[in-house]
Amino acid sequence: MKRFRQHLLICGGTGCHAAGSADVRTALQNEIKKQGLADEVAVVETGCNGFCAMGPVAVVYPGGTFYVSLTIDDVPELVQEHFLKGRPVERLMYKEPASKDIIPDMKDIPFFAHQQLIALRNRGLLDAESIDEYIARDGYRALAKALTEMSPQDIVNEVKKSGLRGRGGGGFPTGLKWEFCQRTPGEIKYVLCNADEGDPGAFMDRSILEADPHSVIEGMTIAAKAIGAHHGFVYCRAEYPLAIERLKLAIEKATEYGLLGDNILDTGFSFNLQIYQGAGAFVCGEETALMRSIEGKRGMPRPRPPFPAVKGLYDKPTVLNNVETWANVAPIIIKGGDWYASIGTAGSKGTKVFALTGHVNNIGLVEVPMGTSLRTIIYDIGGGMPKKHRKFKAVQLGGPSGGCVPEQYLDLPCDYEEIIKAGAIMGSGGMIVMDDSTCMVDMARFFMEFVQDESCGKCTPCREGTRRMLQILEKICEGRGEMSDLDLLEELAAMIKDSALCGLGQTGPNPVLSTLRYFRDEYVAHIVDKKCPARTCVNLIEFRVDEALCKKCGQCFKACPVGAISWEKKQPAKIDLTKCIKCKTCIENCKFDAIV
């Protein structure tokens, strides 16, 4: 066998191959030949050595010099320097990651540091499909305690003491709800979980069911004991297949272990739990509609009273709580209501999970003590706005039933009462951050469209009123609005809020009202100046470069997909309106807001 002076081992594993190692190898072989080294340097292809992320990788022996991320362009230099002149090319070598201690502690990362986990206590820590792991993290200990050491009244008292309020939107005190149901006589009662989660942008309930389904099962079983129920349903939208799958498995396991079903933990208590898959209509999240839907009827709300605690599913006394509410129950039973009540504010106890989305760096789920300021959530936890040249404008809370909160309220402590004072609602915890590229009229239109779409049509004010409001908003966005439309919007909103049958209609006008309250000038700009200040409403944009603002950077020119923009160095850009398709790409790319 021929002996070579040097060996170059280049990786041909899948990862490096995908990164182009085959081409690099060919280039290396050619270059080695060209330099007359073919008899001195062997090129060998190896299998993956686990460094694929830096592929294509190569090692040169003797010496073991490790090269990473090689490209064809690196080849001539590498061959001339290393193989011809014997000087390894530092530039291409793998650099050891800096020492361990630069990795921050979880506790020092603002995203985690400001959070306090109760409902999400097991997130990232256990295998959602293993009941043993849930038990290992104190799972079902609260149930054992509730079944053996507490009377139904003790359970209710503990939850009342905790101050826990419903996390599904209304914020009704959970302990009180249970007490009403407990006191209603009845052989048959039900415990339900609302996992319909219909707000656009909300995903906290899905995440809890996916990551920690037993925490919901445990909470429901404890309530069943408290009110004397033996049957329960989790109403989950069918669009959540993973949540349903994990919940199903969790119910099977819990039943197998005797933590659900007959004679739970050998205490003589029975509770059976089923999943009901909803079709995902928003109105089915409303409690009375949800119950009808489980009964197999069309999901339409009915007037209350009678309240579900008295006449609920199949007209039997029923307790319905939201997924997140249920996930808070076990810790309250173990650590006590006083402990829970020590977290949060005077009227809002414990923590709240928010789904942080929109124009914010760290999109994700956050759980913070009630009373944490919006600023902390958006800037410390959320990491602020991703686009440096954009300013914070408002944050939308509470989805289609909620409202937007402008900058002057950023230090608002987030709890039920304070958010209402600012003109929004806590809702289920959707939090959409908006920078100044968001048009508030368009945002109001979006939510009104959602409400109008989801209106079940049972009552006239909601069915007709929301349609009318949507038409007006569309008209304003198109530049055909009149000042009198604003009064009309307010009138219609008041009328719908007063007379709609269910929460959907009663709260549907809120996004419009809150934008009218804080951003009225933006409505006026649309109507009087025929301008959309955030440049969102296409009909109100001229698609003209304002030469006074244009910094001649050429970004718009590079971005335009149809070549409608002409630009030369040191010249302002120009848009050819005959070619422009009004896609707004240029506007997104101009850092100087020069396109009007």
Ligand X SMILES: Cc1cc2nc3c(=O)[nH]c(=O)nc-3n(C[C@H](O)[C@H](O)[C@H](O)COP(=O)(O)O)c2cc1C
Q: Which of ligand X, other proteins, ligand FES, none is residue 366 near (CB under 5 to 8 Å by kind)?
A: other proteins
- Helical residues (DSSP H) of 430-502, grouped into ranges: 440-454, 460-477, 483-499
Q: What is the DSSP letter of 62?
A: T
Q: Which of ligand SF4, other proteins, ligand FES, none is residue 586 near (CB under 5 to 8 Å by kind)?
A: ligand SF4
Q: What letters, b where the CB count within 10 A reaches 16 and e where it falls short, cover 499-533?
A: ebbbbbbbbbbbbbbbbbebbeebbebbbeeebbb
| CA pair distance 596, 592, nearest whole angstrom | 11
Return the range that interacts with ligand X (CB under 6 A); candidates 102-110, 182-190, 316-324, 373-381: 316-324
Q: Which of ligand X, ligand FES, other proteins, none is residue 11 near (CB under 5 to 8 Å by kind)?
A: ligand FES
Q: Is 450 in the site for other proteins (CB under 8 A)?
A: no
Contact 319, 191 (CB under 8 A): yes
574-575/565-566 β-pairing: antiparallel
Which residues ranging from 489 to 548 are in contact with ligand X (CB under 6 A)?
Answer: 502-504
Q: Which is nearer to ligand SF4, 40 or 449 (CB)?
A: 449
Contact 51, 69 (CB under 8 A): no
Question: Which is nearest to 518 in space by CA: 388, 396, 384?
Answer: 396
Selected binder of ligand X within 47, 129, 136, 172 (CB under 6 A): 172
Q: Which token pair is 435?
A: 């920078």
| CA pair distance 165, 117, nearest whole angstrom | 17
Helix 483-499 with 460-477: angle, nearest 10 deg: 160
Least CB distance to other proteins at residue 540 (A): 32
> Where do contacts with ligand FES occur on this chain (CB under 6 A)?
11, 13-16, 48-52, 55, 57, 207, 364
Contact 233, 192 (CB under 8 A): yes
Q: Is 287 in the site for ligand X (CB under 6 A)?
A: yes
Q: Which is nearer to ligand X, 140 or 282 (CB)?
A: 282
Return the range that interacts with other proteins (CB under 8 A); candidates 356-364, 427-435, 544-552, 560-568: 356-364
Contact 33, 50 (CB under 8 A): no
Selected binder of ligand SF4 within 26, 551, 566, 596 (CB under 6 A): 551
Contact 373, 423 (CB under 8 A): no
Contact 477, 448 (CB under 8 A): no
Which residues ranging from 295 to 314 are in contact with ligand SF4 (CB under 6 A)?
Answer: 301
Q: Is 203 in the site for other proteins (CB under 8 A)?
A: yes
Q: Is 207 in the site for other proteins (CB under 8 A)?
A: yes
Dmax (CA) of the chain: 97
Give the three-state DSSP class for 10.
strand
Selected binder of ligand X within 13, 15, 163, 169 (CB under 6 A): 169
| CA pair distance 114, 106, nearest whole angstrom | 11
| CA pair distance 155, 175, nearest whole angstrom | 9
Strand partners, 51: none
Q: Is 63 in the site for other proteins (CB under 8 A)?
A: no
Q: Is 144 in the site for other proteins (CB under 8 A)?
A: yes
At a CB cut-off of 8 Å and minimum separation 6, what does 194 contact? 168, 235, 285, 287, 290, 320, 321, 322, 323
Question: Which is nearest to 220 in space by CA: 161, 296, 158, 272?
Answer: 272
Q: Is 126 in the site for other proteins (CB under 8 A)?
A: yes
Least CB distance to other proteins at residue 128 (A): 5
Q: Is 325 in the site for ligand X (CB under 6 A)?
A: yes
Selected binder of other proteins within 24, 75, 92, 128 (CB under 8 A): 128
C-alpha triplet 526, 356, 332: angle, nearest 5°: 135
Q: Which is nearer to ligand X, 278 or 358 (CB)?
A: 278
Q: Which of other proteins, ligand SF4, ligand FES, none is residue 98 near (CB under 5 to 8 Å by kind)?
A: other proteins
Selected binder of other proteins within 5, 34, 53, 579 (CB under 8 A): 53
269-278/261-264 β-pairing: antiparallel
Q: Which is nearer to ligand FES, 53 or 494 (CB)?
A: 53
Which residues ranging from 225 to 244 are in contact with other proteins (CB under 8 A)?
Answer: 240, 242-243
Q: Which residues bind ligand X (CB under 6 A)?
A: 166-170, 172, 194, 196-198, 282-283, 285-287, 320-322, 325, 428, 502-504
Q: Which residues bind other proteins (CB under 8 A)?
A: 15, 18-19, 48-55, 97-100, 102-109, 111-112, 115, 117, 120-121, 123-129, 132-133, 135-138, 140-141, 144, 148, 203, 206-207, 210-212, 240, 242-243, 256-259, 263, 265-267, 361-366
Q: Which residues bind ligand SF4 (CB under 6 A)?
A: 283, 301, 455-459, 462-463, 500-502, 504-505, 543, 545, 550-556, 559-560, 562, 564-565, 567, 572-573, 575, 580-586, 589-590, 592, 594-595
